[in-house]
Amino acid sequence: MNIRIIELVAILGAFFGFFGSIMAFIIAYDEYTRHFRDKSKPFWMALEMAVLAFLVFVAISIIVGFVLTRTLASQ
């Protein structure tokens, strides 16, 4: 049961992380294009932000999954 909760929360984190990373890319790219004339550098910098946002969402969801399993197991 505990592993199922962690898997479920990780899948939810990946789902919302995907959409969060798309939004992070769009926002970062829009802001970076205002500061650079070359269009390739803002693209790669925004992609870096998108990957980082995805990893943060997934990491936080896994941590929440572990906390939930410990909380539910102690009851």
Q: What range does the domain containing 12 cover?
A: 2-73
Residue 10: pLDDT band with limits 50, 70, 90: confident
Residue 42 has pLDDT above 70, yes or no: yes
Residue 4 has pLDDT above 70, yes or no: yes
Contact at 8 Å (CB) between 57 and 20? Answer: yes
Q: Give pLDDT tens digits for 23-36.
A: 999 999 999 999 98
Average pLDDT over the chain reads: 89
Looking at residue 58, what is its pLDDT? 92
Give the chain's domain count: 1
Residue 1: pLDDT band with limits 50, 70, 90: low
What beta strand segments (E) does the chain contain?
A: none
